[in-house]
Amino acid sequence: AELDTLDIIVLAAILLGTVAYFTKGKLWGVAKDPYASSLAAANGAKAGKTRNIVEKMEESGKNCIIFYGSQTGTAEDYASRLAKEGKSRYGLETMVADLEDYDYDNLDAIPSDKVVMFVLATYGEGEPTDNAVDFYEFINGDSPQFTSDNEPALGNLNYVAFGLGNNTYEHYNIMVRNVDKALEKLGAHRIGAAGEGDDGAGTMEEDFLAWKDPMWKDLAEKMGLEEREAVYEPIFGIVDRDTLTAESPEVYLGEPNKTHLDGTPKGPFNAHNPYIAPIAESYELFNVKDRNCLHMEVDISASNLSYQTGDHLAVWPTNPGEEVDRFLNVLGLGEKRKSVISVKALEPTAKVPFPTPTTFDAIARYHMEICAPVSRQFLATLAPFAPDEASKAEMTKLGGDKDYFHEKINVHHLNIGRVLEIVGKGKKWSNVPFSVFIEGITKLQPRYYSISSSSLEQPKKISITAVVEEQKLPGRDDPFRGVSTNYLLALKQKQNGDPNPSPYGLTYEITGPRNRYDGIHLPVHVRHSNFKLPSDPLKPVIMIGPGTGVAPFRGFVRERRKMVENGQAVGKTILFFGCRKSTEDFLYCKEWEEAKQIMGDSFELVSAFSRENGSKVYVQHRLKERSKEINELLEKKAYFYVCGDAANMAREVNNVLAQIISEERGVPEAKAEDIVKNMRASNQYQEDVW
Ligand code: FAD
């Protein structure tokens, strides 16, 4: 119903193009193609949005739906890869669906000749991703209510399950495990094994690839599908909009949505709609030359955003110009970078991941995660479009041979542009349909930062504390540099007087689309978290936050300090902070002294320096030294918080705490571990780790 004239023109153009292609141009120029308008009409039918998944499958003729629960985009990416593969290899009519967009009470009405796939990431401390919260509560609830009286409730449902997790966390892949259990209990039939990918071991991609092949075999057998030679079928059509230029007002140059394009962004500001926040101040926290850690404050007073101490700020980064150039040039799009295109879903259930009409430059700069390491499967997808036989053979080998891929690509963490440069030996990859990249490269994701300010002290200004990411790589002189943090570094340099900042040789379109970020702004939104101080200020708190893990605790300490200034009494507030050297990376060193002045005995900072005095002292050692006091505080119901490195520190702190409890209370270690588990379950032990 909402199909506008533009949509029709664009769709018709795509279809005419396709028809022209298949008929070798004979029909080109036919103004009114009946087929074009019927598909345009079918596409228009999707406009009325339904939350009824059965209705949706019926109206769009789908027999395979792939739900995703995704936080950082990987699960969503895997879901669309499954969708594409199911269609091209097995002729399934697939669709990808955000768990948030549908109701679940009629999962029982999905007929048994269809299949539902769940690709579910486990987030943080065994939590569902934001978009999967409702689904998880529903399916994992005591007795989920379905629309019919089927017995068992999900006896008709065939499903496939893959989880994305991290084995360094306590609740490894708990989402997929619990959902699988719940579905099974409700009588649903799983096809293939429930797969588990492990980010902690760095094997996510290979786990996924190893899981999916046997799963497809089982599914094909169960549904009677014939495997065929996969042919690429675009999900998106690209249309040149020759009548438009990058100066035309309706062309998106990186604006996230229509209100931003119109120059009148409106709230609510959220994961779909950032607030372009003025940067109030920014400065360097380290005293060393080769490493950076930024303190940055954004002003939210002109927005309706609010936050609470302990929440997260999501930062919407842009890619560095050098990588945008590399990517566009290797595709042969360097000259066409400012050409205007429209992208339309050729599939009623597919969503174009960014607004159009837009330019290639804007897509690469603002919307695609072009700096991320490439996946093996994606290289296989690109092989048929290689510029010559040699690079086609190389891409096929890279895509098919796990060890070869690991040696050539993975250890060097090459991004897509670099791989194509190396494999093509300088040739342009101009045969690859651009839709392949739209489908195959993850959307550029916002990065989260633990808010390091206190909402009691400054409700309208949010600060973050971000260490600038850099990773030395074998065989490369230039280390990998993090997308978001180097962008923040450039913003900081600009704010502090450098008109053309280029940290480590990287440059950014710092003034944003149509210069709207000038003056100087950062696109953000706030993500609310459960990482919170106890509501009773008299409760003691123990905080473990080495490195940038100190970020939320700066907020906590400033909050309690403000309470003291307001004449309120606060409980004991102990912060364990660790870094390399007191003279180099001791974050907020002066502020802790001030806090001590104001808060007196109720505040204590315990520091651990790992590269001073010859001995490697870490926060967990300091914690152990204070066993008696820590145990006493816990017995007074102190809250215990850990923030920072998920891989090692958080786990070691957990173990040390169990040791402390065991020794101080004279209970066996297993019992002490249970006590720690219970503390976690009752929120007395909280983690904010990444
Ligand atoms: P990215 O470009 O995302 O790269 C990150 C890492 O990915 C690299 O170090 C590398 O290991 C790998 N990588 C990606 N692509 C490549 C490639 N092509 N080659 C090699 N390696 C690659 N950080 C803070 O500093 N302070 C905080 O308070 C903070 N709080 C957080 C809170 C939460 C809830 C979460 C989830 C994360 C938090 N982080 C925090 C981490 C932060 O979100 C970012 O992950 C971090 O700043 C890096 O982002 P980036 O864009 O600079 O790096």
Provide the edge-to-edge strand list for the sheet that holds 236-240.
Answer: 236-240, 340-345, 358-359
pLDDT, tens digit, 9 for 90 and up, residues 225-266: 999 988 888 999 999 999 999 999 999 999 999 999 999 999
Q: What is the pLDDT of residues 135-189, one digit of tens each?
A: 999 999 988 999 988 899 999 999 999 999 998 887 899 999 999 999 999 999 9
Tokens in use for 644? 């920072």
546 residue type, one letter? P
**Cβ neighbours, 10 Å, residue 434:** 17
Long-range contacts at 371-375 (CB < 8 A, ≥ 24 apart): 371/319, 371/320, 371/323, 371/415, 371/483, 372/415, 372/441, 372/442, 373/409, 373/410, 373/413, 373/414, 373/415, 374/409, 374/414, 374/415, 374/416, 374/419, 375/205
Best mutation site among 485, 488, 508, 587 for ligand 1, i.e. most ligand atoms within 8 A of its Cβ? 485
Structure-token match 């005293």, residue found? 287
Question: Which pair of tokens denotes residue 641?
Answer: 């918080």
- Residue 247's alpha-carbon distances to 320, 448, 453, in angstroms, are 22, 33, 40
Catalytic residue among 450, 453, 455, 602: 450
Residue 43 confidence (pLDDT) above 60: no
Tell me the ipTM for this assembly: 0.97
Ligand 1 pocket check for 404: Cβ under 6 Å: no
Q: Is 285 in the pocket of ligand 1 (CB under 6 A)?
A: no
- Read off the DSSP letter of residue 588: T
CA gap 665, 667 in Å, rounded: 6
Does 527 sit in the ligand 1 pocket, CB within 6 Å?
no
614 vs 272, which has greater pLDDT? 272
- Find how far residue 268's CA is from the centre of its chain: 20
605 lines ligand 1 (CB under 6 A): no
Nearest-atom number in ligand 1 for the CA of 449 is 30
Report the DSSP pairing between strands 64-69 and 94-98: parallel
Nearest-atom number in ligand 1 for the CA of 371 is 18
Q: What is the pLDDT of residues 362-396, one digit of tens each?
A: 999 999 999 999 999 999 999 999 999 999 999 99
Cβ-based neighbour number of residue 225 at 10 Å: 19
- 92 close to ligand 1 (CB < 6 Angstrom): no
Helix (H) or strand (E) holding 379: helix 376-382
Of ligand 1's listed atoms, the one at least distance from the Cα of 485 is 52
Percent of the chain at pLDDT > 90 equals 85
> For residue 203, what are the CA distances in angstroms to 77, 395, 406?
16, 21, 11
Q: Which of 253-256's residues contact partners 24+ apart within 8 Å by CB, and which partners?
A: 253/358, 253/359, 253/361, 253/362, 253/513, 253/514, 254/318, 254/358, 254/362, 254/365, 254/366, 254/367, 254/509, 254/512, 254/513, 255/355, 255/513, 255/514, 255/516, 256/316, 256/355, 256/366, 256/523
CA within 13 Å, CB half, 483 = 24
**pLDDT single digits (tens) 277-328:** 999 999 999 999 889 999 999 999 999 999 999 999 999 999 999 999 999 9
Predicted TM-score (pTM) of the model is 0.89
Number of Cβ atoms within 10 Å of the Cβ of 476? 12
Nearest CA owner, ligand 1 atom 25: 466
- 28 has catalytic annotation: no
